[in-house]
């Protein structure tokens, strides 16, 4: 009996549950190394260390309005019909130091963001005043502290402001910059090699001979790697040829933390991947109880995790999202290993599953109807049908113990990343 | 009366409604030019032209399973206890041409994705068969067409497959690649200049003198420009100095479709932006009935749209999302000009607004509690408080005619982009 045959028996005689497969992967995940980048260039990177504020924000008591710094008690009782009158003794602009000291009956013209001068306890808005020469009329009464942003009121020095594992967005860049943090430690992007395997595959841009198809998997997978925060070091279209597969496996294991193959992972006569992984590394899982995606193989070659995804594009896509993508996020130490947004919607019709015991993944389109958000299954003919992805907004998971979904029930739709 | 004063009166005596401001911008939006890129490099770009399939997908009738190509009628009546027996006459692998012609009583071993040989009408799965020499035992009955993906069943030639204005994701790259489309037309990224204006601003990385703050706005805005699909050609921190503002305005108007300033747009004594835009270009809107964000100014300098956002980071952020970001998306011709995901949640408490007649923007955190998704307002002290962004998941808009939100009502939360 060939190794292939025995592997097929090992792999497919008993399918692994997705959660168990993910646990097996977990034991082989090496956290990504550290990288230091400029904060301003850190968009979409993963923060590697927690950040503690070494400043008070704001760093001094400052005006939240354009107006006059005053003692609040000088405004008490003021109204449009009965204005209080005080004297302007100077101006403090934003960014300026001032040695002015304010006494009762005095006002200092102040800009938004400028330091509150000594003696002042509040700021009255310019709109609630009038000026004639140096005489300021006050038309409303304010309380002490009004329109003053106190030193440290946003972020006191010593605050834990960001946790390791967040993915940096524009607002984090603003926060880090406001604290004067020029460089941050982020996780290095895991290096990934991507191979589409198959004699039937033709590179996009070449003429299409009869019985061949264009390679759409490797550009799709490479884009997903990028979306999930990895870095593609190699993307190739290779033949159903054991030597070619082995050579690329060995070469990639030297420089890639993750090696992805699509195609050649099932029980076809030319599916050399299971055999090649077994001979040169280790098969962790072959066959997962999920549809589409069941022929997926997960293995190891030295320190590199190897994922052999089905050749049908939708199956490859779904296996990527649920298995490879989450692995990249775990390597990166992300707090959220599934970056997809979950939306609750109502399923528009009964959806029986093809076989209980498998997780099923349903592509759905979202549509608002009469104040209800409906999830409408897109036509489901085969896992090769890429347009079922491009016509859908997201994916609904149907768990192993369900016979299907019932029209009208609430489901979680995970939007495409 | 100075131009500044008269502008302030023009600007702030009557605030513009956000929707009206957006309409005024609309008249000055020039669609982005075309760019041609490789499909495989097009992730996150905006498709500029609709795509029509020039191929059938699949391009030929192909097997959806590993098994045997057969005439279905040869399987009729087959069962595990009463198998039908037929003869294997050959093999067809994926990617191969074949001149085999199948007759009654014959089977051809076939791989997933291989062409269906002449004479065959269906494929029986390998698991439902057994082989002994060349004798194939069939254990189940199948119907004609079973496990055959018909030519063009996914996408018939001539189908409109993608619309102009979509943002390219991995699945679109797969779809385009499967159709052999190597290059696509996308929209050029609008060029954007970003300036943080203020004598109080210190570059991150320098020591912080008293009464100064670090510049957090320009790195935040630049990151948002990138997130929304623009390209930052210039990012500078400049002084409250008319000449400096004017020179940068003029220089940027030559190479940027959008010019963004933060700070210096209100009625402070050093707020030179309104005056400078008025003297060198045109003020379209000064002051919008939104909180935070009301001092925003929108103008023109020749063909360039000029946005002067408030200097307080949260106001700058919200103005960017609602005004600048949507403008970039419109320039790009995006079908969806607000890329944020909308989530329906229940507001956790009463939220009165500070002043009716304004749109209010509330930062909220989402939390699941007892099967309910709650939107919890984050503390709301001033629009300068960047941590109200980093601690929140999204923003709730409260419309101009509302006095606030009532605990328990459903609200739309727009997740941070």
Write the pLDDT tens digit of every residue in B126-137. Answer: 999 999 999 999
Please list every residue in chain B whose beta carbon sits closer than 8 Å to the beta carbon of residue A115: 210-211
- Closest residue in A to B225 (Cα) is A170
CATH, residue B145: 2.170.190.11
Q: Smallest Cβ distance to B170: which of A114, A220, A415?
A: A220
pLDDT in tens, A31-64: 999 999 999 999 999 999 999 999 998 889 999 8
- Selected for mutation to probe chain B from A52, A108, A147, A170 (highest B CB count within 10 Å) is A170
Please list every residue in chain A whose beta carbon sits closer than 8 Å to the beta carbon of residue B169: 223, 227, 416-417
Least confident of A52-66, B89-103, B382-396: B382-396
Q: What is the pLDDT of residue A169?
A: 97
**Mean local confidence (pLDDT), B202-223:** 94
Nearest of A177, A176, A180 to residue A161 by alpha carbon: A176
Phi-psi region of B75 (alpha: psi -120 to 50; beta: other; left: phi over 0): alpha
Same domain (yes/no): B80, B109: yes
**Pairing between strand A135-138 and A84-92?**
antiparallel
Q: Smallest Cβ distance to A219: which of B177, B212, B224?
A: B177
- Asked whether the beta carbons of residue B91 and residue A219 sit closer than 8 angstroms, the reply is no
Same domain (yes/no): A7, A143: no
Q: How many domains does chain A have?
A: 4
**Mean local confidence (pLDDT), B380-398:** 82
Same domain (yes/no): B182, B41: yes
CATH, residue B45: 3.90.105.10
* Cβ proximity of B273 and B279 under 8 Å: no
Instruction: Please give the Cα distance from A48 to A69 (Å, whole number).
Output: 43
Q: What is the pLDDT of residue B385?
A: 75
Q: What is the pLDDT of residue B96?
A: 85
Please list every residue in chain B whose beta carbon sits closer than 8 Å to the beta carbon of residue A152: none
* Boundary-marking domain end, from A277, A296, A331: A331
Report the gap between the CA of B253 and the closest CA in chain A (Å).
Answer: 24
Interhelix angle B273-280/B3-13, rounded to 10 degrees, is: 100
- Closest residue in B to A223 (Cα) is B170
Instruction: Please give the Cα distance from A57 to B24 (Å, whole number).
Output: 37
Q: Smallest Cβ distance to B199: which of A94, A176, A215?
A: A94
Please list every residue in chain A whose beta carbon sits closer than 8 Å to the beta carbon of residue B177: 204, 214-216, 219-220
Q: Over its length of 417 residues, how does chain A's per-residue pLDDT go in tens digits?
A: 333 343 344 345 579 999 999 999 999 999 999 999 999 999 999 999 999 999 998 889 999 888 999 999 999 999 999 999 999 999 998 888 889 999 999 999 998 889 999 999 999 999 999 999 999 999 999 999 999 999 988 888 999 999 999 999 999 999 999 999 999 999 999 999 999 999 889 999 999 988 899 999 999 999 999 999 999 999 999 998 999 999 999 999 999 999 999 987 665 566 789 999 999 999 999 999 999 999 999 999 999 999 999 998 999 999 999 999 999 999 999 999 999 999 999 999 999 998 889 999 999 999 999 888 999 999 766 555 788 899 999 999 999 999 999 999 999 999 999
The alpha carbon of residue B56 and the mean position of all alpha carbons in its chain are separated, in whole angstroms, by: 29
Same domain (yes/no): A41, A174: yes
Q: Smallest Cβ distance to A177: which of B155, B173, B204?
A: B204
**Mean local confidence (pLDDT), B306-330:** 96
Cβ neighbours of residue B378 under 8 Å, at least 6 residues apart? B363, B364, B365, B388, B391, B392
Instruction: Please give the Cα distance from A153 to B120 (Å, whole number).
Output: 77
**Pairing between strand B290-291 and B359-369?**
parallel
Instruction: Please give the Cα distance from A393 to A362 (Å, whole number).
Output: 11
Please list every residue in chain A whose beta carbon sits closer than 8 Å to the beta carbon of residue B317: 170-171, 174
Length of chain A: 417
Kindly tell me if the per-residue pLDDT of B10 is higher than 50. Answer: no
Q: A337 in a domain, yes or no?
A: no
pLDDT-based confidence at residue B210 (cuts at 50, 70, 90): confident
- Closest residue in A to B320 (Cα) is A170
pLDDT in tens, B262-292: 987 665 566 789 999 999 999 999 999 999 9
pLDDT-based confidence at residue B384 (cuts at 50, 70, 90): low
Length of chain B: 417
- Selected for mutation to probe chain B from A42, A45, A174 (highest B CB count within 10 Å) is A174
Report the gap between the CA of A376 and the closest CA in chain B (Å).
Answer: 18
Same domain (yes/no): B179, B192: no
Same domain (yes/no): B143, B200: no
Q: B213 in a domain, yes or no?
A: yes
Residue B4, H or E segment: helix B3-13
CATH, residue A297: 3.40.980.10
Nearest of B39, B50, B43, B105 to residue B72 by alpha carbon: B105
- Asked whether the beta carbons of residue B171 and residue A200 sit closer than 8 angstroms, the reply is no
Q: What is the pLDDT of residue A358?
A: 94
Q: B337 in a domain, yes or no?
A: no
Same domain (yes/no): A177, A198: no
Q: A294 in a domain, yes or no?
A: yes
Least confident of A332-346, B20-34, B92-106: B92-106
Please list every residue in chain B whose beta carbon sits closer than 8 Å to the beta carbon of residue A181: 204
* Cβ proximity of A412 and A342 under 8 Å: yes
Same domain (yes/no): A70, A205: no
**Of all residues in chain A, what percent are helix, strand and coil, respectively (each to 5)?**
25, 35, 45
Q: What is the pLDDT of residue A386?
A: 84
Q: A336 in a domain, yes or no?
A: no
Same domain (yes/no): A39, A183: yes
The phi, psi pair for B326, rounded to 5°, reads: -65, -30
Q: A203 in a domain, yes or no?
A: yes
- Asked whether the beta carbons of residue B175 and residue A216 sit closer than 8 angstroms, the reply is yes
**Mean pLDDT in chain B?**
92
CATH, residue B409: 2.40.340.10
pTM: 0.91
**Mean local confidence (pLDDT), B140-152:** 94
Q: What is the pLDDT of residue B283?
A: 96
Q: A139 in a domain, yes or no?
A: yes
Same domain (yes/no): B197, B283: yes
Q: Smallest Cβ distance to A171: which of B95, B97, B389?
A: B389
**Mean pLDDT in chain A?**
92
Same domain (yes/no): A220, A297: yes
Model ipTM value? 0.90
Same domain (yes/no): A102, A142: yes
- Supply the range of the domain harboring residue A88: 62-149
Whole-number percent of chain B with pLDDT over 90? 82
Q: A308 in a domain, yes or no?
A: yes
């Amino acid at each position: 009996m060939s190794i292939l045959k025995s592997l097929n028996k090992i792999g497919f005689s008993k399918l692994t549950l997705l959660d168990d497969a993910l646990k097996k992967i977990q034991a082989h995940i090496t956290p990504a190394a550290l990288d230091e980048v400029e904060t301003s260039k850190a968009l979409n990177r993963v923060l590697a260390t927690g950040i503690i504020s070494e400043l008070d924000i704001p760093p001094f008591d400052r005006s939240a309005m354009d107006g006059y710094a005053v003692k609040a008690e000088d405004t008490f009782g003021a109204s449009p019909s009965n204005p209080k009158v005080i004297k302007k003794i100077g101006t403090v602009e934003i960014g300026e130091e001032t040695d002015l000291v304010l006494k009762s009956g005095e006002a200092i013209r102040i800009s938004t963001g400028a330091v509150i001068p000594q003696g002042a306890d509040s700021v009255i808005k310019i709109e609630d005043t009038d000026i004639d020469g140096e005489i300021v009329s006050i038309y409303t009464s304010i309380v002490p502290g009004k329109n003053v942003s106190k030193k440290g009121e946003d972020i006191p020095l010593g605050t834990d402001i960001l946790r390791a594992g967040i993915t940096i967005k524009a607002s984090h860049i603003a926060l880090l910059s406001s604290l004067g943090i020029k460089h941050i430690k982020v996780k290095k992007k895991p290096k990934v090699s991507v191979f589409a395997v198959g004699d039937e595959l033709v590179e996009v841009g070449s003429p299409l001979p009869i019985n061949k198809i264009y390679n759409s998997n490797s550009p799709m997978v490479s884009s997903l790697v990028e979306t999930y925060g990895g870095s593609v070091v190699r993307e190739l279209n290779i033949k159903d040829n054991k030597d070619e597969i082995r050579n690329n496996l060995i070469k990639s294991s030297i420089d890639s933390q993750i090696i992805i193959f699509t195609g050649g992972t099932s029980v076809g006569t030319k599916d050399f991947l299971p055999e090649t992984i077994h001979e040169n590394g280790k098969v962790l899982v072959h066959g997962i109880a999920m549809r589409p995606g069941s022929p997926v193989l997960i293995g190891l070659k030295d320190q590199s995790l190897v994922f052999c995804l089905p050749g049908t594009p939708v199956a490859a896509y779904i296996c990527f999202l649920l298995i490879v993508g989450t692995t990249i996020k775990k390597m990166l130490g992300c707090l959220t290993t599934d970056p997809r947004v979950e939306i609750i919607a109502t399923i528009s019709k009964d959806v029986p599953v093809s076989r209980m015991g498998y997780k099923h993944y349903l592509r759905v389109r979202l549509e608002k109807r009469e104040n209800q958000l409906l999830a409408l299954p897109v036509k489901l003919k085969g896992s090769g049908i890429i347009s079922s992805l491009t016509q859908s907004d997201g994916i609904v998971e149907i768990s192993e113990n369900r016979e299907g979904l019932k029209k009208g029930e609430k489901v979680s739709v995970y939007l495409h990343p």
